Structure 1
Amino acid sequence: MASPSIKRSKNQEVGRSLPLRFRWALPLVTRRCAAVVVEVSLVAASALIPYSIGWYAKEHSTAEPVPLNPVLASTEEAIAKTLAYPLREPLTRSVAPLTNLFWCGALVIPVVVTSWQLYLLGKTGKTTPKRWFGVQVVTAYGAPPGMIRAIWREAVGRWGLPFSAAYLLWRYTGAFPDVGILLGLAGFMLLAESSCYLFNARRRTLHDQLAGTFVLDGRKNFSSYPNSFQTGQSLGHNPTVTLEMEDGLPFPDEATEPRQRPTRTVTTIVLTSQTPKRDSLNLWLWMRRHPGVTLLLIAFASMASILGTFVGTQIYIQSQANRREFKKQDNQVFLELVKQLSSTPGKAIEERQGVILALARLDDARAVPFLVDLLAQEKTPSSIDAIQQALVSKGPEALAPLQRLNQALQNDQEMLRRRGTAQNQQLVALRQRATKRAIAKIVTIYTGQLPETELSRTDLSQVNTGSAQFTLVLDNLILSGINFRSANLTNASLRNSIFYGPGEDERLGTFDDWIADLSGADLRDAELTGSNLTNAVLNGTNLMRATLNRAKLSNSRLTGANLSSAKLISADLRQGVLENASLTGADLGEAKFARANLHGARLGKVKAVRSDFTFANLSQSNWQGANLSGANLSSANLQEADLSSTKLIGVDLRNAQLQKAKLRNCDLSNADLRGANLAGVDLQGATFATTPPVRSNQFLAKPAIAASSARIKGVNFADVKNLDGEQINFICSNGGRHPQCPTDK
């Protein structure tokens, strides 16, 4: 195949020997790397800047929140699935209007910037950063690469292959789901791809070799480079060179005498391939040369296809006939059992129960709906229990119909309480108890096998009176992924149960983790000791008087939850979200709230002895009358918090932010306030040390014990409000700073 001709003028040939008028001091490889870094920085900045502005607007905007843009939600979900990153906030959350605007910009602007740079690269061979650093991308003929070649070079060669290789290694090795390892692998693959530059004679990286491009110094003319790659070496064969003159005559042979050679100018170099042409494999030619073998093969193939079609058809027909026959038999059995139930007299209870259990063993899709409808109408208690057993034997497929019947019976109970006879109320209560028991037994039997099971708005509450007594007991079970949203679980026993587990990838901390949703559920007086509620959703959940001792609630969402009078002794709520939650009167002894968000929470009269609140957000929280003795509040945010009349004996408040907080009448004995910000703090009536009581036979009162005094050395009390003379004297004598102290005058 003839290769393209390369025409050169005499001026271009002369230009090769002329010195360049401008050269950059940096070598080409350094400028190439710098251009790549700037290109990536431009794209990253075009995404990070609007995203940061949107995040700031989300945190500080006072505008009415709006739902998150569906495009943003879908993008966030896709990224989380790809990187196996768990979503800490629901996709249906509300954000500020400006957040939607700037986050949409964070998606669109990088695409625009990348497209524009690819366009420049395809049309001119230079992106904006490449132009800044004097770098140019060309083809083997010195032309710009074009759009298709530019996209292939960047999307596939430079970024696609390295990132794909890194992702596959990360996803299917022990490195998953650590995103840090993924970033390290991606960087290594990018470096390896670019390192091909060192092992190529023409200094070409892998993406240049894939796209057929060369990177040159943009300050030089293309003709000034040794053009060995422009003639034929880059085409993969040895060409024949033919020189043509201006008059069209061939160039004179070297053997011709010099005086016989005419003076002519070379205008064209024609490159002709000398690679011999190979005959391609021709099926038709082979068939003509071997007619007998061809006919034999065709005959065998025809017979095999006919026989296979016949056998397959017969098998399909027979299987369909068998299926219809079995279905007909099952249908007859089902109809016969239904007929027996309708014709059996009420006194034949045992026979009726046997028919019900036979229906449960029948493999018919109509069995479960029929049994549920039968339960909604049954009046005999023993038959109700039999239907319950039959539904339990059907397993998880009975949960959805049972949930719907449970909700309907709950509505019936509410209606009958207002107007209904005692007999009807008892009958509905028995049916409701049957649904509760059936659901509880199925969940118990199939523990850990019910992810994404829907039990929202289901009534599983305790019943203590009458013949329909019921208590939900789901101790030591795996309940991860079950949706209990707005369910009634009062007085339920869920001791040591697990509400958080790995998803299909069997790894915790990834996107597909199974997390129970208990938002809005009623868990009053529930027993949750030792339960694992990590990452669980408990927004608006009623946990009044619930027992959560030693429960794991780290990273859980408890926004607006009611934990009044709850027991949370030694519970782990690190990094939990408890904004505007109510913990009035709760026992938080030795609980862990490090980095938790309790903004606006109500914690009046709580017992938080030796609890850990380091780096927690406690701004605008209310602690009136609480006992925080020995608690760790170092580096906590207590701005505008109300700590009036609280016991802060031995509390660690180092580096805490207490701006405009109220500490009226609080006891700060032995508290450590070093490094705390007390600007605008109200300390009216606060005590910094305990004074031992005066005995009746003691003439003089003993001075305050030094060990019980608050540590305030170096603390600035200049902007503290409502300090009396005694407090100022204590501050000055214990190393605190105040304008009235002698050393500060």
Structure 2
Amino acid sequence: MTSPTIKQVHNQAVSRSFSLRLNRALPMMTRRLAAVVLEVSLVTASAVIPYSIGEYAKDHSPAEPVPINPVVAATEEAIAKTLAYPRARLNRQVAPLTNLFWCGAIVMPITIVSWQLYQLGKTGQTTPKQWLKLRVVTPMGTPPGLIRAVWREAVGRWGLPLGTAYLLWRYTGAFPDFGILLGLAGVMLLIEHGSGWIHSRRRAFHDRMAGTYVVNASQGLASGSFNGWQTGRDHSVTLEFDNGWHQRSETSTHDQPNHPSVTTIVLTSQSSSRQAPHLWGWMRRHPGATLLILSFTGMASVLGTFVGTQVYIQRQANWREVNQQNNEVFLALVKQLSSTSATALEERQGAILALARLDDPRAVPFLVDLLGQENTPSLIDTLQQALVSKGGEALPPLQRLNQALQNDRDTLARRGTPGEQQLVALRQRATNRAIAKILTIYSSELHDADLSRTDLSQMDTRSVQFTLVLDNLDLAGLNFRSAILTGGSFQNSRFYGAGADQRWGTFDDWIADLSGAELKEADLTGANLNNVLMARTNLIRAILNRANLADSYLIGANFSSAQLIGADLTRAVLENASLTGANLGEVKASLVNLHGGSLGQVSAVGGDFSFADLTQSNWQGADLSGANFSHAKLQDADLSSTKLVKANLSQAQLQNAKLQNTNLSEVDLRGANLTGTDFLGAMFATAVPVKSDQFITQPPSAASGARVQGVNFARAKNLDTNQLQYICNHGGRHPECP
């Protein structure tokens, strides 16, 4: 009869035999690599899938865009700041479904990572490790615990390699090339995970750092102790033990094999026999030196404390003395400025200029308040000069005074006397001039100045004139949100610049904000508005010839009757913008987003709109001669009564577009998608007069007609007999063609 011990040994042998077959089929290092790939793929998929769905919803959802979720916006900004992603390309308004799925793209990876770490700490296995029969254990054979698991994964496996790659990228000149960062990260992760190949027990750096081992889960390790585990190699590593063999007894059967039996387990400690020296032992062996060191240390501490205290007391006394002197001077100047006698005018002017030179935080607010109350024109001009000398620190109070004076002007315009209106206008002109001069003199130091809702519009009355002139200046980073800049001149000025790192296209770039600003009739000729925020900005009759508006954010902007000759609108976002009557001659608008834009009566002769998104845009009555619309999206666009002579519409998407009464002479339609396109009254060719002074014409030639070779007109709408005849005669395709 077989004993229980023999059965247990037999079961263990079967289990070990199955594990051995699994190891031979798939080695340990291969399974560990597969587990890493599966773990990364699981987390990546949990973020990429909802993000991709949200991105698709953003581009295709018919719902009205809403502001991006604050949590998503903060996450997006943090990632952009870390990876130096340009701030101007961040999302601001998205579809409601996009907000939902992008929130999921944040929550799901965090949830999965947290659950996997919890599993790893409690059981030693993540889900992929369970699939591949792997387990992470401590030297005692127990699960690593949550703290050790976090240390192993967050610091050892990912933190150190990715952190090292990021530091090398950020501070070795490779910044901001994102491709180099990916390459460095891959190399560092490969080195870290490949470190197990060169270790005798196939332990990677993160395992040695956390004090863990990766073993076969099928071994069934006991909690608290174990006699061996599988390392990176295919053999067991065991603790030291002495064993013996049972001698076969006389009564044993001949066919019964001998079984090994452990008689003694010896656990050896390899700690050093020589203890490291410590401070207390050294002090006991050297009492004299210890006493001398302590004495000198005590004397130095007392002397240092005394000297430091005296220096601090003297500095405080000097500070109080300087503050008292400044306070006395400030009060004396304020008292002098309070004088209202006619003979004190020159003294008051001197006091104003002296107050501007005083290093006192109360000086600027006092001067600004005085400007808002002063009645003497000469003193108003003196206050303006004094505030200009204070530089950028005077802008915030001047902005508030500007808004207050504008409110006063609006109030007095209804029920004020001419004298009161004139006085407020003088104060406002002085305020506006001070702001303009500060921007002119200190422009390179004011990249974060806030001038939102400031009224710097043109003033033209009988005795008060003001025109904002900020030509050839660095205005990058300024906040002009909802400011009134009507009639201002900004020729060749820069509203976009490299940030503190002096590298273009990174997160800290200085980008001006002109959203909602009034720039009616402003002169922005040659201005650099690249990446600038200009949503809902009013640019009616503005001059933007040769201006750089590439990558700018212009949703809902109004360019009606504006001059944009030779302007660069590459990749600009102009959704629902109005360009009615604008001059877009030779404009560079490749990849521009003009979805839902109003472009009626525009002149875009020779403009480049290749690959542009012009879906649902309205071009009625426009002159688009020679324009390039190759590969453009023109679905549901209204091109009725337009002049498209010599335009390039090859490979364009014209589904359901309206080309009614359009002149299509010499237009290239090859490769265009004309499903549902309305050609009612469209002219494919123009008859040419025989002589310039005669009305006799000859039939249109192929050279003067539209290029329709191979174009499928089968699903086009409202094609008349003459149009079909031209299509069939010139290589077009239609069911009625022979």
Same structural fold, with TM-score higher than 0.5 when normalized by the shorter chain: yes
Is 2:102 the partner of 1:103?
A: yes
Does the 8 A contact of 2:16 with 2:219 survive in 1? no
Does the 8 A contact of 2:702 with 2:730 survive in 1? no
Does the 8 A contact of 1:344 with 1:352 survive in 2? no
CA distance in 2 between partners of 1:460 and 1:452 (Å): 18
RMSD over aligned CA atoms reads 2.7
**Larger deviation: 475-484 or 497-506?**
497-506
Aligned partner (choices 584, 591, 616) of residue 612 of structure 2: 616
Aligned partner (choices 232, 235, 239) of residue 231 of structure 1: 239
Is 2:212 the partner of 1:204?
A: no
Does the 8 A contact of 1:732 with 1:741 survive in 2? yes
Is 2:62 the partner of 1:70?
A: no
Q: Which runs of 5+ in 2 are unaligned?
A: 1-7, 222-227, 248-258
**Larger deviation: 499-508 or 652-661?**
499-508
**Equivalent residue letter for 2:84:** A
**Equivalent residue letter for 2:239:** T
Q: 1:90 to 1:435 in 2, by over 3 A?
A: farther
CA distance in 1 between partners of 2:208 and 2:270 (Å): 24
Is 2:321 the partner of 1:313?
A: no
Partner SS for 1:57: helix
CA distance in 1 between partners of 2:289 and 2:10 (Å): 66
CA distance in 1 between partners of 2:94 and 2:161 (Å): 36
Q: 1:339 to 1:147 in 2, by over 3 A?
A: closer
Aligned runs of 1:186-585 on 2, under 5 Å?
Answer: 186-218=185-217, 229-231=237-239, 265-273=261-269, 275-343=271-339, 345-585=341-581
Question: Residue in 1 aligned with 2:256?
Answer: none
**Larger deviation: 266-275 or 683-692?**
266-275
> 1:469-501 CA distances to partner (integer Å, 9 max, x unpaired)?
111111111001100111111111101101011
CA distance in 2 between partners of 1:272 and 1:11 (Å): 30
In the alignment of these two chains, the number of paired residues is 710
**Larger deviation: 194-203 or 558-567?**
194-203
> 1:353-390 CA distances to partner (integer Å, 9 max, x unpaired)?
11111111111111111111111111111111001000
CA distance in 2 between partners of 1:265 and 1:740 (Å): 96
CA distance in 1 between partners of 2:694 and 2:52 (Å): 67
Question: Residue in 2 aligned with 1:40?
Answer: 40
**Equivalent residue letter for 2:164:** A
CA distance in 1 between partners of 2:30 and 2:283 (Å): 61
Question: Residue in 1 aligned with 2:675?
Answer: 679
Query: By how many angstroms is 1:168 displaced?
Result: 0.6
Query: By how many angstroms is 1:20 displaced?
Result: 6.0
**Larger deviation: 94-103 or 325-334?**
94-103
Partner SS for 1:266: strand
Q: 1:348 to 1:715 in 2, by over 3 A?
A: same
CA distance in 2 between partners of 1:633 and 1:438 (Å): 48
CA distance in 2 between partners of 1:623 and 1:20 (Å): 73
**Equivalent residue letter for 2:79:** I
Does the 8 A contact of 1:141 with 1:230 survive in 2? no
Q: 1:310 to 1:740 in 2, by over 3 A?
A: same
State the percentage of identical aligned residues: 65
CA distance in 2 between partners of 1:430 and 1:322 (Å): 43
> 1:546-577 CA distances to partner (integer Å, 9 max, x unpaired)?
11111111110111111011111111111111
TM-score by length of 2: 0.90
CA distance in 1 between partners of 2:76 and 2:466 (Å): 43
CA distance in 1 between partners of 2:41 and 2:635 (Å): 38
CA distance in 1 between partners of 2:59 and 2:15 (Å): 62
**Equivalent residue letter for 1:480:** A
Query: By how many angstroms is 1:55 displaced?
Result: 2.9
**Larger deviation: 30-39 or 363-372?**
30-39
Does the 8 A contact of 1:140 with 1:229 survive in 2? no
Does the 8 A contact of 1:515 with 1:535 survive in 2? yes
**Equivalent residue letter for 1:199:** I
Does the 8 A contact of 1:244 with 1:266 survive in 2? yes
Q: 1:280 to 1:199 in 2, by over 3 A?
A: closer
Does the 8 A contact of 1:15 with 1:224 survive in 2? no
CA distance in 2 between partners of 1:43 and 1:170 (Å): 25
TM-score by length of 1: 0.90
Does the 8 A contact of 1:245 with 1:268 survive in 2? no
**Larger deviation: 713-722 or 388-397?**
713-722
**Equivalent residue letter for 1:472:** L
Question: Residue in 2 aligned with 1:707?
Answer: 703
Query: By how many angstroms is 1:224 displaced?
Result: 7.9
Question: Residue in 2 aligned with 1:161?
Answer: 160
**Equivalent residue letter for 2:192:** E
Query: By how many angstroms is 1:202 displaced?
Result: 2.6
**Equivalent residue letter for 2:158:** W
CA distance in 2 between partners of 1:129 and 1:265 (Å): 37
**Equivalent residue letter for 1:731:** I
Question: Residue in 2 aligned with 1:81?
Answer: 81
